Structure 1
Amino acid sequence: MKKIGILCASDTELEPFLDYIEVEKIIEKAMLKFYKGSIGEHPVVAVYSGVCKVNAAIAAQILIDEFQVTHMINAGTAGGMDEGVQLFDTVVSQQMMYHDVAEDILTEFHPWLKENYFCADKNLLLAARQYSRQTSFPMLFGRMVTGEQFIEDDKRTEINAACAPLSVDMETASAAHVCYVNEIPFLSVRTITDTADHKGAENFEKNCEAASRQCAKIVTGILGQLPS
């Protein structure tokens, strides 16, 4: 049976999931709260890690080691990078990479990737595509990038030229990294709060709650496409 880890960065991103999860137990570890329960037929463990790569990696490894999740979905919000990405589009990861790590670090050293990006799980992607054909929410499939900063105009052009991403956030690639070395199927689903045309932290703050609710609904819909 699949056991799904749901990893969010913030309490705002996690909170909508608690409307869908039948919580059986809350377990505290490493200063984090893990909500153990189910969504439909799927056992789940949900947590918000706190912002940034290391926090996401800590939570992801605990989900794997302590809760034995078999699959992981990183969910929440992101900034739009490609000019075609609009507010409240939801980006689903096909590839995930760091925009602030030298290109050869992960190919020349552990975990010796063939390319400097991680790939989403094919079956989770298939479920997301199936759901995308049934929903009115706009869903885009492509590359996500991760780094340790909120991206404004001074970095956007540089990152787009180097990585050609649809979205940017501070956690996805690190959670994908942990899942890759542990051979855990992974997918990231992020709803857009800010773009080049609707930029800045003020737009993130204004749109975060609504985008988080939308993302939780989409992730729940994706889970509904997975066999138990």
Structure 2
Amino acid sequence: MKVGIVCAGDVELEPFLPILNVCKVTERAMLRFYEGQVEGIKVVALFSGVCKVNAAIASQILIDLFGVNMIINSGTAGGMDPKLEIFDTVISTEVCYHDVAADILTEFHPGMKSIFFEADRELIELTKVAVKKLRQEGHVFWGRMVTGESFITDEGRQKINSEFTPLTVDMETASIAHVCYVNSIPFISIRCVTDTAAYSGIDNFEENCAKASMIAKDITVALLNELGSK
């Protein structure tokens, strides 16, 4: 088993580096891949850079060059559901794009049955086991995430909520799930909330990013521990 961990930004990756027994660092496509072990599991971790294409590039390289056979997306997100508070965490059950026409992926390649990329069911169940053993700040929810090419503040929030009713929004998850779908490998996303409708804007994201990233890391590592003990 070899697990790819994709974070969008350097702050989201940073909590993993002290615990990653790095054997090798490889640079490809202007990205730096850290290869080692966490909880006895072979891991390749990196930050891809923000946006869908950057995340997709990183994910495909993880599969083609490093031979990972599952990908975990760890990091932060904006809370869309009113029940979410800062430092709550959402774990994906399904993911879609909020800025791609509904028929693009169903009528054309890759001919999906719906617009949603489903997270791996076994990984979902393992996260539930892992979370029960943790004492992390905030609550953990499982549900729908949406992805698009913009940071959502007040503008656009109502439209996305009415069309998709997501728990969170971000700029990478669906593209990572998309790459995993066409390569037939398991995927799951673990994202901690940095901003909400009540506390919106880039300032809240920046203020809360480091702490939220640490929370997401802790749950990701707990999931790796469950994978290692199977």
Shorter-chain TM band: over 0.9
* Structure 2 equivalent of residue 18 of structure 1: 17
Q: Determine helix, strand or coil for the equivalent of 1:26.
A: strand
Show CA shifts across 1:123-163 (max 9, x none): 11111111122223321100000000000112111000000
State whether residues 75 and 217 of structure 2, in contact with CA within 8 Å, keep that contact through their aligned partners in structure 1. Answer: yes
State whether residues 3 and 44 of structure 1, in contact with CA within 8 Å, keep that contact through their aligned partners in structure 2. Answer: yes
CA–CA separation in structure 2 for the residues paired with 1:35 and 1:206? 26
| Mean Cα deviation higher: 127-136 or 44-53 | 127-136
1:99 CA drift (Å): 0.3
State whether residues 127 and 225 of structure 1, in contact with CA within 8 Å, keep that contact through their aligned partners in structure 2. Answer: yes
* Structure 1 equivalent of residue 210 of structure 2: 209
CA–CA separation in structure 2 for the residues paired with 1:191 and 1:65? 29
* Structure 2 equivalent of residue 56 of structure 1: 55
1:82 CA drift (Å): 0.4
Q: Determine helix, strand or coil for the equivalent of 1:226.
A: helix
CA–CA separation in structure 1 for the residues paired with 2:18 and 2:83? 32
1:142-221 counterparts in 2 under 5 A?
142-221=143-222
Which one-letter code corresponds to 1:128 in the other structure? T
CA–CA separation in structure 1 for the residues paired with 2:19 and 2:222? 11
CA–CA separation in structure 1 for the residues paired with 2:2 and 2:175? 20
Calculate percent identity across the aligned residue pairs.
55
Gapped runs of 5+ residues in structure 2?
Answer: none
CA–CA separation in structure 2 for the residues paired with 1:96 and 1:85? 18
* Structure 2 equivalent of residue 130 of structure 1: 129
* Structure 1 equivalent of residue 41 of structure 2: 42
* Count of paired positions: 227
1:169 CA drift (Å): 0.3
State whether residues 131 and 222 of structure 2, in contact with CA within 8 Å, keep that contact through their aligned partners in structure 1. Answer: no
* Structure 1 equivalent of residue 68 of structure 2: 69
1:226 CA drift (Å): 1.1
State whether residues 127 and 223 of structure 1, in contact with CA within 8 Å, keep that contact through their aligned partners in structure 2. Answer: no
RMSD over aligned Cα, in angstroms? Answer: 0.8
State whether residues 91 and 191 of structure 1, in contact with CA within 8 Å, keep that contact through their aligned partners in structure 2. Answer: yes
Q: Give runs of ≥4 in structure 1 deviating > 4 Å.
A: none
1:192 CA drift (Å): 0.4
CA–CA separation in structure 2 for the residues paired with 1:134 and 1:86? 21
Show CA shifts across 1:44-66 (max 9, x none): 00011000000000000000000
Q: Determine helix, strand or coil for the equivalent of 1:22.
A: coil
Q: Determine helix, strand or coil for the equivalent of 2:23.
A: strand
CA–CA separation in structure 2 for the residues paired with 1:40 and 1:148? 34
* Structure 1 equivalent of residue 103 of structure 2: 104
Gapped runs of 5+ residues in structure 1?
Answer: none
1:20 CA drift (Å): 1.7
CA–CA separation in structure 2 for the residues paired with 1:77 and 1:200? 14
CA–CA separation in structure 1 for the residues paired with 2:134 and 2:156? 33
